[in-house]
Structure 1
Amino acid sequence: MLAQIAVEATRVVLILFIILGTIGNVLNLFIFTQPTLLKSPCTLYLLAASIDNILVIYTTLLTRLLANGFSIDITITSNAVCKLRSYVGYVFFAVSPYFFVLACFDRYCSSSPLATYRSWSNKKVAKRLIIGAITLACILYFHMAIFFEIQSGESGLSCNCRPGIYEIFWRIFYLIVMCILPPFFMGLFCILTLMNMRRQSRRIRHSLATGNYHRTQMDRQLLRMLFIQVSTQLLCILPTAIINLLNLFTDIDSDLFNFFSQIFILTLYVSYS
């Protein structure tokens, strides 16, 4: 009963996420490519995140919808497809949160009273960091192309990590890299940015008096948009982090736990929609 509910929920929710996510991210691309916003390096990170979200929707979300919602699992057709989808899908899946981390870092640098830090908030640095984040993700997740393969279990064939030591490594790796580090650094840089903004309140008032009103307004709008995105990321990642912690330190195998595992993974997809 619970398994069927999870299947139906997955089918309906993922279809909505794919439709709404496509519309939302396309609108983001339109907004972030406006000349006024493109002047800010922070916009480049948000633009990169929107592009990556679209890639996630049509690699990870679509294939999961076909597999879990309609029993059409392309990853079990061959080990090559299994490895490729796992590797590429998780690389796309991983970089978007770190683009938001970089956006938070950029706002921290931009608001810093130190000229050295402020100099890091520029489009040239942003482009390099975006390329660096993608390259690092490709390297960090390369082990998936080796150790993910078609597994045979009670429920049939599935594309999963190799059981044993690697499975333990994978759970710890995913928990740290995907569930712990992004929220931690997002929260850290947001707090540091708010502290910087309080310290420079006098300078902001001076900029308003000297005619830099529009620049200050744009920075505030970007920061507000970023905080909304970060809050969404934190709320979406938290349930998945809890489930992964339980999976790592306990051996729960019940219909109820499996049901919540499938439902909570859907919350993670909200941040890509």
Structure 2
Amino acid sequence: MSTSTDANITAYWNNASSSMNRYFSIFLFLFGTIGNILNILVLFQRELRTNSCSFLFLISSIANLIAILSGLTTRMLSGWTLDLTNTIDWLCKLRAFILFVSRNIALLSIMFAALDRWLSSSINVHRRHMSTLKNAQRAVILLLILSAIIYSPIFYCYKANLINAPLKCYGETNICRISNDLIYACCTILFPILLMSLFGIMTINNIRHVQSRINITNSNERLPISKKKKVDRQLSLMLFIQIILLALFTLPQAIQKLYSTITANQILSSAQTAFNNFIFNLVLLLTYVANGVPFYIYTLSGGTVFRNALIQLFRKLNQIHP
């Protein structure tokens, strides 16, 4: 009886995982691809791409799009047809490398955007002068190099056609899985989220400090807000909301990775394994929500700056195709 129940539970969670991968992946793919393409087109406009923070948003959107295309395409197709990355080693390694590197760049770009907002809001002139497009471009180059180095072991560790693993294309040995899980959980999720939060809090303190000084100096006088300051404020709001949602959608996977590392040597029943695989797939798909949601954040919270740029984009497209 217990064996039959265990088999039924296992089948239930396996079917749930399969259905979730098949249908939810399609929604996330469309949701994220459309959003990131629009993001890239809007942020690439001259008025925005010359701003250091907007430039980092642009890089993050490009990385998010690559992550969705490299990660969700095969996952989505695997529910309907054969996924070649599950059977061909070099495709497995290449896909995993591109996925992890792009995700790392996407999150760390937002971390650098948070750093940029802190610098630009500082009362220290030297720090404000560090908030430049050139420094943002240097940060992106550094990100590319570091991300490639950090995830280069994937070419050694990952292998296709695995059986006793959450995915058929996964780390071959326990050491590979543990090291990759820890690197991903710490370097791609926990470390950036903590620094984003820290810089966000410091930016808020800077803004409050500046506003209090303005209020004291001009208690009876209203000064007009310059266009640049208005853009900076709206970019900061966009950034803060994105940090909150990034934490919401990515931290569960970091927790799951750490949990799987701690329990790597435990012997589990087939039902427990199936349930763990379901949680693995669920939190993995949640990270794709984080990859796809920025455009909708910027549209809702970006004020007139982002929405006007979006309207201008649609007008240009309408002129091209009347």
- For residues 136-191 of structure 1, give each alpha carbon's deviation from its aligned partner in whole angstroms, at most 9, with x where no partner exists: 10111111112212254258992211213333222222221123111111111101
Conserved? CA contact 1:147–1:166, under 8 Å: yes
Q: Which of 90, 103, 126 lines up with 1:80 in the alignment?
A: 90
Deviates more, 1:50-59 or 1:204-213: 204-213
Tell me whether 148-157 or 138-147 shows the greater mean CA deviation. Answer: 148-157
2:100 counterpart letter in structure 1 = Y
| Structure-2 residue corresponding to 1:64 | 75
1:56–1:272: 8 Å Cα contact kept in structure 2? yes
Quote the sequence identity (%). 30
Q: Cα distance 1:258–1:79, how it changes in 2: closer, same or farther (>3 A)? A: closer
Distance 2:180 2:141 in 1: 25
1:44 corresponds, among 49, 55, 71, to 55
Which residue number corresponds to residue 257 of structure 2? 244
* TM superposition shift of 1:268: 1.0
Q: Is the 8 A contact 1:109 1:121 kept in 2?
A: yes
Aligned to 2:227: 214
1:184 maps to 194
TM-score (ref. length: structure 2): 0.78
Amino acid paired to 1:58: L
- For 2:157 and 2:68, locate their aligned partners in 1 and report how far apart those are by CA, in whole Å: 24
The answer for unaligned runs of 5 or more in structure 2 is 1-11, 293-322
Gaps of 5+ in 1: none
Distance 1:171 1:194, change over 3 A: same
Give aligned pairs, total: 272
Of the structure 1 ranges 209-218 and 253-262, higher mean CA displacement relative to structure 2 is found in: 209-218
**Conserved? CA contact 2:253–2:284, under 8 Å:** yes
- Relative to 1, partners in 2 of residues 1:204 and 1:96: Cα closer, same or farther, differing over 3 Å? farther
Contact persistence 1:37–1:218 (CA under 8 A) = no
Residue 20 of structure 1 is matched in structure 2 by 31
Query: Could you tell me whether the CA contact under 8 Å between 1:112 and 1:118 is conserved in 2?
Result: yes
1:33 alignment partner, one of 34, 44, 69: 44
| Superposition pairs of residues 1-273 of structure 1, within 5 angstroms | 1-67=12-78, 69-153=79-163, 158-202=168-212, 209-250=222-263, 251=266, 253=268, 254=272, 255-273=274-292
The whole-number CA distance in structure 1 between the counterparts of 2:233 and 2:193 is: 21
- My pick for the range that moved more, 32-41 or 234-243, is 32-41
Aligned-pair CA distance for 1:243 = 1.2
Q: 1:157 and 1:45, CA in 2 relative to 1: closer, same or farther beyond 3 A?
A: closer
Say which one has the larger Rg. 2
